[in-house]
């Protein structure tokens, strides 16, 4: 089960965090993975790790906020691989702030990466998926899309848009045999969390880490590998009857905190 058997897979934001974990697991499940990320150094490291473990991977630097750049990269992948079976939109950035502390520049930056970046990648892939008779799109959302999170105004806005785009694409392309779903994690322990604690709570990192962990009823943060496991299922043939759905993976955050 869950063998992706040479499926051509594009993962954005694959240089670190959840995107990297997804790329690694998909490659281990026999997919041919194209890693897309803005950070060339992280991208190179992630790609080399997959190859060293026996996987098939190619890293391509790309700014998902720039449509023509994204289209060019996807055309390059199609020319090389002949198709795109799976697209995982994991590229995204965070922002901490409420409405009155969110500048226009902050808002535009979040909008361009988290919303326009997802749109750009889907726009670049959808034509090829229709042409080849189907495909799978998976978008990384957040519990912030359905709950009001403190000090996450712009970020919550962007993930709400990702959820809406997911449902729209699922409905519009179901007759084209294209499935589209999203995953909505709560807090996941990535390098972003470590950097946030180091920058904002120097000397209190462990204390604040435990505090943030306990905001999930399960008592800890998620692991990138756990998110990747759900992504693998949703992109596999075993999930062929699943489309137009958002899957919270949150240690009980949504249902047990409300």
**Average pLDDT of every residue of the chain:** 96
Q: How many domains does the chain have?
A: 1
Q: Is the pLDDT of residue 205 over 70?
A: yes
Q: Is residue 69 within 8 Å of residue 62, measured between CB atoms? A: yes
207 found inside a domain: no
The single residue of 119, 155, 173, 247 carrying the catalytic annotation is 155
Question: Is residue 202 included in any domain, yes or no?
Answer: no
In a domain, 38, yes or no: yes
69 domain-assigned: yes
Q: State how far Cα 3 lies from the chain centre.
A: 20
- Per the domain annotation, does 107 fall within a domain? yes
Flag whether pLDDT at 107 surpasses 80: yes
34 in catalytic set = no
216 assigned to some structural domain? no
Reduce the DSSP state of residue 41 to 3 states and report it. Answer: helix
Query: Is the confidence at residue 147, as pLDDT, over 90?
Result: no
Determine the structural domain holding residue 138 and report its residue range. Answer: 8-187+225-256
Residue 232 CB partners (closer than 8 Å, separation 6+)? 2, 4, 22, 25, 26, 29
Question: Residue 154: which residues within 8 A CB-CB, separation 6 or more?
Answer: 95, 97, 102, 106, 107, 110, 111
Q: Which of 78-82, 178-182, 203-207 has the lowest mean pLDDT?
A: 203-207
Residue 196 pLDDT greater than 90, yes or no: no
Instruction: For residue 258, name the pLDDT band (cuts at 50, 70, 90).
Output: low
CA atoms of 210 and 222, how far apart (whole Å): 13
**Residue 161 pLDDT more than 80?**
yes
As a whole number of angstroms, the distance between CA 245 and CA 139 comes to 11
Average pLDDT over residues 199-228: 93
The CATH number of whichever domain residue 112 belongs to comes to 3.40.50.720
C-alpha–C-alpha distance, residues 198 and 176, integer Å: 47
pLDDT per position as a tens digit, 83-104: 999 999 999 999 999 999 999 9
Cα–Cα–Cα angle for 189, 195, 199, rounded to 5 degrees: 140
């Amino acid at each position: 089960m869950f063998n992706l058997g040479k499926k051509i897979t594009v993962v954005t934001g694959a240089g670190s965090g959840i995107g990297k974990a997804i790329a690694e697991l998909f490659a281990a499940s026999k997919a041919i993975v194209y890693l897309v990320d803005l950070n060339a150094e992280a991208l190179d490291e992630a790609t080399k790790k997959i190859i060293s473990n026996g996987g098939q991977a190619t890293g391509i630097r790309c700014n998902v906020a720039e449509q023509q750049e994204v289209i060019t990269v996807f055309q390059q992948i199609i020319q090389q691989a002949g198709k795109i079976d799976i697209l995982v939109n994991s590229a995204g950035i965070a922002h901490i702030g409420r409405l009155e502390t969110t500048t226009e520049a902050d808002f535009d930056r979040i909008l361009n990466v988290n919303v326009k970046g997802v749109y750009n990648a889907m726009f670049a892939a959808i034509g090829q998926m229709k042409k080849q008779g189907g495909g799978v799109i998976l978008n990384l959302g957040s519990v912030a899309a359905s709950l009001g999170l403190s000090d996450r105004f712009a970020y919550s806005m962007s993930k709400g848009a990702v959820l809406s785009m997911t449902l729209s694409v699922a409905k519009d392309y179901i007759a084209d045999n294209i499935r589209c779903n999203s995953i909505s994690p709560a807090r996941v322990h990535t390098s972003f969390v470590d950097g946030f604690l180091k920058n904002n709570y120097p000397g209190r990192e462990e204390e604040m880490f435990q505090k943030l962990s306990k905001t999930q009823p399960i008592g800890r943060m998620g692991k990138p590998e756990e998110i990747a496991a759900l992504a693998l299922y949703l992109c596999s043939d075993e999930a062929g009857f699943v489309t137009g759905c958002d899957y919270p993976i949150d240690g009980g955050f949504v249902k047990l905190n409300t």
